[in-house]
Structure 1
Amino acid sequence: MADDFEVPVGLFQDVEDLKAQLAQVTAQLRTLTEAAEVEPGPLPDQETPPDEAADEEEEDWAYPPFILLLEEPQYSDELRALIEWVEGVLVPAYLGEPSADSKWCHLWFEHPPAVARLHALWLAWQELTDPTSCGYTGPSVWHRDHLDPCLRELRAPNGPFAGCVKNEHQVAHRMPGQVPSAWSHTDS
């Protein structure tokens, strides 16, 4: 059966191309290694070995905290920043009028599941809208993987705002564009 196997002519050309590329890379590698006769020393401003410096950077790096795990006053500070983003970016740009099939509560920050989802959405937005960390496709990924699923869950008829309908609560619900700032209210 091995005699029945025919090798396509293009395969031989591909193999020859690979051999030529390998020979070229090998020659470049040989040139570079011969040119580097002296082992590189530490950089002038480098005081610690690279492995130790990497360990220190990891220890110094603080990941964004998940809001529901924070205690006061960090919770309030993080919530204020989240409210600012939701009211300044998310609500005006992405939310239409609430309806029975697409709910929204202007007091979303009183719903822990909404706070958790919106905080996660905001953290993803911070990362994925920075071209230096994720390139120029980050916003597209944020819309597809984060915004759309989050809004579907939040605004679903059985989502965290399921009971938030006009005239059903003590709270007067408003259109998303008219959401007041949650922390700048003055008690009259």
Structure 2
Amino acid sequence: MPDDPDFEVPVGMFEDLEDVKAQIAALTAQIKALTENGGPDPGEASADDGADAGGETVDEEDLWQYPPFILLLDPPQYDDELRALIEWVEGVLVPGYLAEPSADARWCHLWFEHPVAIARLHACWLAWQELTDPATCGYTGPSVWHRDHLDPCMRELRGSSGPFAGCTKGEHQIGHRLPGVVPSAWRQAED
């Protein structure tokens, strides 16, 4: 039999491997204990999750939750979210980013009557909320928002085939883009 090759392995690598082995063993033991003791199902919070280090429970209302996508809301939450979106669009987006509408860059002053516009602008607004906060995204967030969210959103909305294609200066058309009745994937039909 040939001799085993002589490999030089740095000593630090053995320590790293031992650390990984120890972490895997600890995780395996934790999984085994949870499955044997009838612990919570994956994705469920355990009773201990509501308590902080001091033993106090955290009120669910105090926990920040991601805002829901506007098209998934029902009244009155939908109405409240739409009002807030209108304030942002009319207070920030329109005066700061929209030039005079033209054939190449359309805009409808009744944009909130176009469901596609509501959906795209709401998504853009959610991204703006996150990416203009240096605490969550650092100082490059606004640049990322412009590049990844605002510019594509405006191209789609203001383009010649966008939701405002039938709207001209002073004239609003909503029915030109509405499809026929399509069963919703989000809600079950009521009998």
Query: Does TM-score exceed 0.5, indicating one fold?
Result: yes
Partner of 1:132: 135
Letter in 1 for 2:166: G
Q: Tell me, what secondary structure is at the counterpart of 1:166?
A: coil
> How much does 1:168 deviate?
4.6
Query: Which residue among 110, 114, 117 is the counterpart of 1:111?
Result: 114
Aligned residues: 129
- Tell me: CA distance 1:93–1:167, structure 2 relative to 1, closer, same or farther (3 Å): closer
Where relative contact order (Cα < 8 A, 6+ residues apart) is larger, the structure is 1
Query: Which residue among 121, 124, 139 is the counterpart of 2:124?
Result: 121
| Mapped pair 1:64 → 2:67 | yes
Partner of 2:92: 89
Bigger-Rg structure (1/2): 1
Rounded Cα–Cα distance in structure 2 between residues aligned with 1:170 and 1:116: 18
Identity among equivalent positions (%) equals 74
Partner of 1:46: 53
Rounded Cα–Cα distance in structure 1 between residues aligned with 2:94 and 2:165: 18
Partner of 1:143: 146
Rounded Cα–Cα distance in structure 1 between residues aligned with 2:145 and 2:170: 35
Structure 1's consecutive aligned runs of 4 or more residues displaced over 4 angstroms after TM superposition are: 167-171
Rounded Cα–Cα distance in structure 1 between residues aligned with 2:173 and 2:146: 34
Partner of 1:152: 155
Q: Which runs of 5+ in 2 are unaligned?
A: 1-9, 13-51, 175-191
1:78-114 deviation per Cα after TM superposition (whole angstroms, max 9, x unaligned): 0000000000000001000000111000000000000
Q: Which runs of 5+ in 1 are unaligned?
A: 1-17, 23-44, 172-188
| TM-score, length-scaled by structure 2 | 0.59
Partner of 1:75: 78
> How much does 1:166 deviate?
3.0
Rounded Cα–Cα distance in structure 1 between residues aligned with 2:85 and 2:170: 27
Larger fraction in helix: 1
Rounded Cα–Cα distance in structure 2 between residues aligned with 1:132 and 1:150: 25
- Tell me: CA distance 1:108–1:167, structure 2 relative to 1, closer, same or farther (3 Å): closer
> C-alpha root-mean-square deviation of aligned residues, in Å?
3.1
